[in-house]
Amino acid sequence: MSWLTEFVRPKIRTLLGRKDVPENLWHQCPSCQQMIFQRDLEANLKVCMHCGHHMRASARERLAWTFDDGAYTLIDTPRVPQDPLRFRDGKRYSDRLKEAREKTKLDEAILVAHGQLGGHKVVIAAMDYAFMGGSMGAAVGEGIVAAARLAVLQKAPLIIYVTSGGARMQEGAISLMQMPRTVIATQIVKEAGLPLLAVLTDNTFGGVTASFAMLGDIQIGEPGAIIGFTGPRVIEQTVREKLPEGFQRSEYLFEHGILDMIVVRAEMRATLIRLVDMLVPPSAVEPPAPPAITTDLVTA
Ligand SMILES: [Zn+2]
């Protein structure tokens, strides 16, 4: 018996242990419930190959999928006070921030980068839903302002990938102040005669919908993205009416003139290139690249 328990059993355990399948190898599509091999899903830009469902993508993925050769330069967005209200609900806000940073390896819910798109210089700001639901606090507001300033400095179009649950409640009124600030950011881009393209992805809600997210020269939506100000349940309870089928989906907003186009992810980069080609005046293409932009210039 001792040979069986002391030698054979541990041996079997190690053999079985080695064959353990990593949990993240397969992904279940939330729309059609099909199991998809994670690597295939990533190769397909996180779009289900069975039903075409567009899954959420990270800010880094958005940047890599959009820029030429996936090459870009991130800028440091201005530092903001951490937890200015010393807010605490179920957990301390500072702890929530720490967790989000560990989980996403991001500093905040936005990345701002510059690089080339179809040979044009562009600035892209990409939000990340995985970081506290993409909520907009002071840091995200600063990110949008920095992106707008960088676009003006580089005379480059600004593209914003939006995804957000709304204002970051842990920052109270400070998060609400980001709404007028980001609106002004879109204005400085427009006053410089530069195109602003807003790509609304699943999901776009609250404070961002009520500010910069709806102010693009061209409003693009990803298929099936839920875009609105308040969730359908709250609206139903308020107006006491059943909402129409597909309410707040890209397709519904497109039919009602809120979005200009719906673009599948596989065609997003080509579409953005086409739009930038059309919107950037030829004179803006010819001059040599401006000197490298440092963060100091952006934050000044
Ligand atoms: Zn599917």
| Closest among 142, 137, 239, 225 to 184, alpha carbons compared | 142
- Residue 2 pLDDT exceeds 90: no
Percent above pLDDT 90 for the chain: 82
- Residue 8 pLDDT exceeds 80: no
Considering only 126-140, 208-222, 226-240, which range has the smallest mean pLDDT?
A: 226-240
- Residue 60 pLDDT exceeds 90: yes
- Residue 289 pLDDT exceeds 70: no
Distance in Å, CA 54 to ligand 1 centroid: 8
Distance in Å, CA 93 to ligand 1 centroid: 35
- pLDDT tens for 25-45 read 999 999 999 999 999 999 999
Considering only 17-21, 103-107, 133-137, 242-246, which range has the smallest mean pLDDT?
A: 17-21
CA distances from 20 to 9, 28, 78, 201, 207 (A): 17, 19, 44, 35, 44
Distance in Å, CA 201 to ligand 1 centroid: 17
Q: What's residue 231's pLDDT?
A: 85
> Which letter does DSSP use for residue 4 in this model?
I
Distance in Å, CA 52 to ligand 1 centroid: 6
- pLDDT tens for 99-144 read 999 999 999 999 999 999 999 999 999 999 999 999 999 999 999 9
Distance in Å, CA 53 to ligand 1 centroid: 5
Distance in Å, CA 190 to ligand 1 centroid: 39
- Residue 21 pLDDT exceeds 70: no
- Residue 287 pLDDT exceeds 60: no
CB within 8 A of 114, min separation 6: which ones? 72, 73, 75, 121, 122, 123, 124, 150, 154, 156, 293
Q: pTM for the full model?
A: 0.86
> Which letter does DSSP use for residue 167 in this model?
B
Average confidence score pLDDT of the chain: 91
Q: What is the mean pLDDT of residues 15-20?
A: 59
- pLDDT tens for 247-268 read 999 999 999 999 999 999 999 9
Distance in Å, CA 247 to ligand 1 centroid: 20
Q: What's residue 300's pLDDT?
A: 43
